[in-house]
Chain A
Amino acid sequence: MTVSGKDEPPPRPLAPATPAVAALPAAVAPVRRRNEALYYALRNRKLVIGFTIVLVFLLIAIIGPSFSRHEPLAYDGPPGIGPSADYWLGTTMFGQDIYSQFVSGLRASFLVGLFGGGLAAIVGMFIGFIAGYRGGIVDEILSMLTNIVLVIPTFAVLLVVAAYLSVRGIGSEAVFIGFTSWPWAARAIRSQTFSLTSRDFVDMARLSGRSTLQIIFGEIAPNMSSYLLLTFILLFGGAVLTAATLDFIGLGPTNGISLGLMMNYSVMNAALQLGMWWWFIPPGIAIAAIVGALYVMNVGLDEVFNPKLREA
């Protein structure tokens, strides 16, 4: 049995002349909420390491291309050479600069992650919030919709889409990923919203004349801000991985270059058998590292937000 924080008030100012009553330390120091989160965040190894890895790759994606000496797809160089002074990560079978492809591909991956993940997050939040707050028939309809999209075989749909769109860019890939990966986010947000909606402070907001949207974004969403952040990070990582997978099997953008496409080409051209490790290892490691780091960051963030999970 633990002391209930509700019954034990902090030393309350009774009257100016009377010293405060000694109270049990259930409710303690004045607020340091945001600083507390930051304090723990900086000390969480998983979060720091994961974040650093992602940040490094992000910086490479942002700054890297300005160091490219060749166009990513230009057949400029000597084919199939390893890393050298002029071609830092060597060249492809066709003489394309792998470094240049790598940094452009990184950019593309981050962009798809951002827009695809972001779109999924927006749709997921919209549906999750409304279903969770309204309940009843609205919830039933939205849940049905969620389940349908969840069950759709995205691969099959993608094949159909690919057949119709002969030219596909990163944008359409991001849109596709966004519109197919939102269901689990919607579900998670819906259940969180359910539990928050039943709290008295939502009733109090209703009594204050606040509208549904004002309550969702003014009371409920801020209360689950950490949860939303975690959800977005997962969606981001998922989008990067999905895009890489789609690119790898040839269903990605028809123009440009991406990490998945690099893997695709390298495999199609027997890079492994030919020992051209510089062609598939950088993109492979990059994808694995970024997605892995994002997931690890997520676990770390969860520990920061949820004191009960902390080990120390």
Chain B
Amino acid sequence: MTLKLDNVSKTYTLGAFSGKTLRAVRNVSFDVRPGQVVSLIGESGSGKSTVGRMILRLTSITDGRISLDDEDITTLRGGDLKGYYRKVQGVFQDPFSTYNPIFRVDHVFENIRRSYFPGVALSEWTGRLETSLRSVNLDPGLVLGRYPHQLSGGQLQRVLIARALLLDIKILVADEIISMLDASTRIDVLNLLAELKARGLGIVFVTHDLSLGNYISDTTVILRYGAVVEMGATEKVFGDPRHAYTKSLLAAVPQLHHRWEDEGFGDTSMPVELPTARGDAPKLTAVEPDHLVAG
């Protein structure tokens, strides 16, 4: 069940008549295989969340092709799209926005039941819910029947993962799912993702935090202004970065036991690269097996 992105692009038109376009994502290609975690790493404006949304078909794809197991999902609609969501699901950044605040958290499960398991008896369904919640280390009794504001961010995110697991998903898109959580809960959710990966789930891990990406991913894709600048096996990209941007990113990561080495302040050019002035993505060349660099 491989998810394949082939030259995917997203272009927004600004205003009805201005003719200006914003190329948010440019020619991005990568694969996600079962049991593989792919990190999409980038700063704000890099297009990483847009890629995640395109995989989830929440944003339309302007150019290129996304396929799951060779089946083109780029323009699926209606029942076919619903079927796609049985295999691919997502969790977002802000747990308190992902839940409809006027309903209990059970509502997210109810929606799944109504869409995909209408015939299942209530007792059987409750059993499945409990199994799913336990598999994400949550006690069903402490979670079911509660309102979102009564639970912590970590619990809410894990409930969403449990929801996704009710379907037999192959790919999970995790878009900055831990950036709003406490340090300790972050680790727990990360470790959970690693466990799920070991059980065969493919994960697209969107983040701006390099150390998190490094912790659990097998493959790393570095995005800048919508285009891939470097990608490959995580140890190769982090261990032997070739692109100037990757190097500056790594040099900027604050670490406990190393001080920043250089003296600069970071990107100081002005004006900032305008998103409307972007050309085609630079071509990627392989510098070694499983390690591609732009330019």
Binding site for B on A (CB under 8 A): 5-7, 9-10, 12-13, 27, 30-31, 33, 199-201, 203-210, 218-219, 222-223
Contacts and interface: CB of A to CB of B under 8 A. Distances in A.
Interface string B97-117: 111111100001001101110
A231 to B, nearest CB: 18
B152 A10 contact: yes
Contacts of A210: 111, 114-115
B271 to A, nearest CB: 28
Interface stretch (B26-34, B85-93, B121-129): B85-93
Contacts of A199: 97
A200 B89 contact: no
A203 B150 contact: no
Nearest to A13: B142
B153 interface: yes
A210 B151 CA distance: 25
B186 to A, nearest CB: 13
B100 A208 contact: no
A13 B56 CA distance: 33
A201 B99 contact: yes
B82 interface: yes
B238 interface: no
Contacts of B102: 33, 222-223
Interface of B: 56, 58, 81-82, 85, 89-90, 92, 94, 96-103, 108, 111-112, 114-116, 139, 142, 147, 149-155, 160, 180, 182
B85 A209 contact: yes
Given A5-B149, A27-B149, A30-B150, A207 B90 contact: yes
B115 A201 contact: no
Given A7-B180, A12-B155, A204 B98 contact: yes
Given A6-B94, A13-B142, A207 B58 contact: yes
B45 to A, nearest CB: 19
A207 B56 contact: yes
B108 A204 contact: yes
B255 to A, nearest CB: 24
Contact of B89 (A30, A31, A201, A207): A207
A31 B150 contact: yes
Contacts of B108: 204, 208
A201 B151 contact: no
Contacts of B182: 9
Nearest to B58: A203
A223 B100 contact: yes
11 contacts: A6-B94, A6-B96, A9-B154, A9-B182, A10-B151, A12-B151, A200-B98, A207-B58, A209-B115, A209-B116, A218-B111
Contacts of A218: 111
A30 B100 CA distance: 17
Contacts of B96: 5-6
A29 to B, nearest CB: 9
A200 B150 contact: no
A31 B58 contact: no
Given A209-B116, A210-B111, A9 B98 contact: no
